[in-house]
Chain A
Amino acid sequence: MSSSGILKSSLAKKYAMALTGLFLCLFLVGHLLGNLQLFIPGVEGQTAFNEYALFMTTFPLVKVLSYLTYASVLFHVVDGVVLTLQNRKARPARYAVEKGSANAGWSSRNMAVLGTIVLVFIVTHMQNFWWKMHFDKAMPTQTVNGVELKDLHTVVMNFFDPAINSMAAAAAGLYVLGMFALGFHLWHGFSSAFQSMGVRHETYTPWIERAGQAFAVLVPAAFASIPLYLFLTQA
């Protein structure tokens, strides 16, 4: 097979899915660690978060990583759509009776739907925070030691404050929903990525699966706890 043939093969598409997916898992950890600063109360928390936001949008190495992240999301989505369409074509006539639950887990059978929900979440999420941080001229500011910082902290606080944003409850609710979808997507996706790359071992695979499930529960739960906390403490 020519090398272009190899790249077009079903397995190469799976490798791409696995590698971008695992890279995005790393991104999630980084993003979560940053977000957890929103639990720090008062001006101290505000300063920490805004300095962190500045660092994340200007430090060259982080910028490289963020471009890699955008590319991974795009690739993961496009590759996922291509794979899903090919899979539909491979079974044009559906079964009248199909007992999918008899032989496979629910999340493994619904990765495309779950992924789509996560994508919708990402788009709205970027619109609400990322876009404002990067392009909004009316962004509030905070002055720390004479330096003017973009005040993303206040944007986030206000977004989940029902006194300021009438949609705050819905925003927190939809955020949690998005994290549910992410959790189920990861429940299958994390360990599936290892299988796609051919990493399978009698002793270690059960541990990879357990780690994947722990990741799928803990990371989205930690993310979701933040808007819930901000909404409930401000309500």
Chain B
Amino acid sequence: MNLTLKVWRQNGPQDKGHFDTHQLSDVTGDMSFLEMMDVLNDKIIREGGEPIAFDHDCREGICGMCSMFINGEAHGPGRGVTTCQLHMRSFKDGDTITIEPWRASAFPVVKDLTVDRSAFDRIIQAGGYVSVNTSGETLDANAIPVPKADADEAFNAATCIGCGACVATCKNASAMLFVSAKVSQFALLPQGQPERKRRVTRMVEQMDKEGFGNCTNTGACAVECPKGIDLTNIARMNRDFLNASVTGQ
């Protein structure tokens, strides 16, 4: 198929940025979106241009690097997929595809489609962990009984790959879905209890500091999340933060 690609180009965080338009032919339906980008970059290089910078790593939907806002949606059309798992068969011959980076002040553009998501890392550093004794007498995690339903919920929350599609999608650039998944994966397990209140307070504080927007419960994040993280996590975090605030932590 033949496509018209409008791609965002930006030389650095301070650059204003603009769209470049490219025509690409001979794209097949079983190419992944990133393979299509590779073909495009190949063409640009052969024509003596500067290839488009974009993030990617695993190309199998587990690392969360492939951030692209495609035709008005994070990771493009289709549900439960990252950009690397999106295939060109989702488009048709003659389509115009607009490709933009995640846009949020907390995710500054590094170059073209690449953004800096280290704000997420700082939120994790603020409290997204459990402190364990590593003296050699560490308790085997499996020795502590966990109800199956809780274990499943915690596991679901833990499947968040930190891609940032929730922030990119949210009209407020809010990070609530990500942070609530990272809060929930511990809040549901016995190992997470000792630091539960401190964790949620610190992570929310860091989230605010990074300049993410406020949640208005539109639910767009959960629809676009490639891992199906749902709004239950946000409610749990709201509850936990309220509890921590009222009981003093």
Contact = CB atoms under 8 A, between A and B. Distances in A.
Interface range, B side: 35 or more
Contacts of B72: 95, 97-100, 102
Contacts of A89: 105, 211, 213
B215 A104 contact: no
A197 interface: yes
Given A14-B215, A90-B174, A97-B71, A5 B205 contact: yes
Interface of B: 6, 8, 17, 19, 69, 71-73, 77, 98, 100, 103-106, 169, 171-174, 201-202, 204-205, 207-208, 211-220, 223-224, 231-232, 234-242, 245, 248
A91 B173 contact: yes
A210 B164 CA distance: 31
A90 B213 CA distance: 5
A14 B214 contact: yes
Contacts of B104: 90-91
B173 A10 contact: no
A10 B71 contact: no
A111 B173 CA distance: 16
A99 B237 CA distance: 28
Interface of A: 1, 3, 5-6, 8-15, 83, 86-87, 89-100, 102-105, 108-109, 111, 188, 192, 195-200
Contacts of A196: 215, 217, 238
A163 B6 CA distance: 61
B220 A100 contact: yes
B103 A95 contact: yes
Interface core residue of A8, A87, A188, A192 (most chain B CB under 10 Å): A87
Contact of B236 (A13, A14, A192, A198): A198
A79 B27 CA distance: 50
A165 B213 CA distance: 46
